């Protein structure tokens, strides 16, 4: 009987330790990201071998931030339209949600995963975007 009780407690502890805390994703959101792959709701996938734009994400201390589309230039700088998408961060039902608002639209994305190298979000159309950290091309070598 003791071994069954121990196994139950151990299993519950293991299950609880595997649960992801979406709040830990916030620290990884900032930076330069490029789309690696998109999986549509019907399961079709599109891989991106080249991106002519990069998303830059910045977050303030107040759990608000913005995303800006940038176009890398060969000299290491970026061109931008300076049109940014403002968002607020909310943790709801064990999920990290980004609520965007522009003068033209508003929408929500849910962060499924965020590490120092990858970011995965799902939008209202159930399309899953997998981003990788942007690494600039070094043409000086």
CB 34, CB 55: distance < 8 Å: yes
Whether the full predicted model's pTM is greater than 0.85, yes or no, is: no
Sign of torsion over alpha carbons 18, 19, 20, 23: negative
Q: pLDDT tens digit string along 122-135?
A: 999 999 999 999 98
Return the DSSP state at 42: T
Q: pLDDT tens digit string along 1-37?
A: 455 554 545 544 444 444 578 899 999 999 999 999 9
* CB proximity list for 50: less than 8 A, separation 6 or greater: none
């Amino acid at each position: 009987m003791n071994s069954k009780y121990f196994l139950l407690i151990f299993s519950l502890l293991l299950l609880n330790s595997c649960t992801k805390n979406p709040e830990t994703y916030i620290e990884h959101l900032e930076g330069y990201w490029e789309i690696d792959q998109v999986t549509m709701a019907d399961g079709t996938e599109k891989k991106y071998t080249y991106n002519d734009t990069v998303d830059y994400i910045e977050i303030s201390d107040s759990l608000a931030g913005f995303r800006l589309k940038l176009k890398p230039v060969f000299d290491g700088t970026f061109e931008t339209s300076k049109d940014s998408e403002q968002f607020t961060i909310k943790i709801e039902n064990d999920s990290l949600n980004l609520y965007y608002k522009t003068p033209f639209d508003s929408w929500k994305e849910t962060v499924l995963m965020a590490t120092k190298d990858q970011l995965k979000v799902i939008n209202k159309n159930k399309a899953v975007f997998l981003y990788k950290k942007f690494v600039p091309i070094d043409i000086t070598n």
